[in-house]
Amino acid sequence: MESSAPDSAISAEDQTLRLQNRIPGHAVITELLAIQNRVQPRSRLGRIFGANPLSPDSLPWYQGALGEIRIGHILTSLRADWTVLHAVPVGTGSSDIDHVLIGPAGVFTLNTKNHANQNVWVAGNTFMVAGRKQCHISNAVHEASRAAKLLAAVTSTPVPVTGVVVIVGAKKLTIREKPAAVRVLTERQLLRWLTRRKPVLTSEQIAEIVAAASRPETWHRNPPVPGNPAALRNSFIDLQRQVSAARARRTAWAFGALAAMGAILAALIPAAATLIPTILVP
């Protein structure tokens, strides 16, 4: 009787295909769902009043996923001569590169940061969010440098990589001094910045780099076997619907409370207007 190959035995071709099919936020969503599985389900009363299904531990991962998904959607507008890889596992642990871009304008690693409704301030290597210093610049520099080294090792030729920090949802981005080694852009600036850059790679060079970048073993010493991208996307969409429904319920209750207070005041004012003159008359 013939024995079937174990599930863990995946051909290099399948591994490559799976890497290219990783969805924006793949790693972040995976971690988010793992945390959510440990969260106590909301009570019936909690669901009625719109309690947030996200735990405090889940919230940063959820916001991160939204940011990467937003950038992934923007990147679909790039021309067909661009290759985009999402959530590329790198190193030896659980680290990943949010987005790797390869096209005529070069190779780019994108580090996406969702700072919704926050003020972002940049001066050289100093990166501040709502007055708090962040290490986004140094992380982006390291990310690009490591990507250049790994790609060069496979292609046997230097592969310059530009690191980019992409800020999603910021209330205001102020750049007093541009960082020397990376670019800092908002999600609204990203596509225009990419498409306006001059070509630096030939079609042959692009093909060689894409071939190297598409192999999981280029990036990770022991590439993890990814889950089903479609199932992962559907699970996140379901969670997103729960979060939106809970927010809608909280908003409805808040408006209901305001309406009730308004009705009470509307009833009290005429009565007060009638009562005050009788109190003031000696």
Are 182 and 144 a contacting pair, CB within 8 Å?
yes
Are 26 and 226 a contacting pair, CB within 8 Å?
yes
Of 136, 145, 156, the closest CA to residue 91 belongs to: 145
What are the respective helix, strand and coil percentages of the chain, to the nearest 5?
50, 20, 30
Please give the angle made by the CA atoms of 196, 106 and 110, to the nearest 5 degrees: 85
Of 232, 126, 105, the closest CA to residue 182 belongs to: 126
Determine the average pLDDT of the residues in 53-73. Answer: 95
How does pLDDT run across 50-62, given as a tens digit for each residue?
888 999 999 999 9
Exposure string of 136-167, with b = 16+ CB inside 10 Å and e = fewer, is bbebbbebbebbbebbbebbeeebebbbbbbb
- 């920090």: which residue's tokens? 165
How does pLDDT run across 166-216, given as a tens digit for each residue?
999 999 999 999 999 999 999 999 999 999 999 999 999 999 999 999 999
Positive or negative: CA dihedral 105, 134, 151, 7: negative
Residue 158 CA to residue 149 CA, distance in Å, equals 8
Residue 103 CA to residue 206 CA, distance in Å, equals 6
State the burial class of residue 177 (Cβ atoms within 10 Å of its Cβ: 0-12, 13-18, 19+). Answer: exposed
Structural tokens at position 174: 């102020």
Displacement of CA 159 from its chain's centroid (Å): 26
Coil, strand, or helix at residue 193?
helix
Minimum mean pLDDT among 9-13, 110-114, 230-234, 262-266: which range?
Answer: 9-13
Residue 109 CA to residue 162 CA, distance in Å, equals 6
Write down the pLDDT at residue 178.
Answer: 95
Q: Give DSSP secondary structure letters for 38-100.
A: TSPPPPHHHHHTT--SS-TTHHHHHHHHHHHHHHHHHHTTS-TT-EEEEEEE-BSSS-EEEEE
Determine the average pLDDT of the residues in 15-27. Answer: 81
Of 98, 59, 53, the closest CA to residue 75 belongs to: 98
Confidence of residue 66 (pLDDT cuts 50, 70, 90): very high
Taking phi first (over 0 means left), then psi (-120 to 50 degrees means alpha), and beta for anything else, what does residue 25 get? left
Is the per-residue pLDDT at 4 higher than 60? no
pTM: 0.84
Write down the pLDDT at residue 250.
Answer: 83
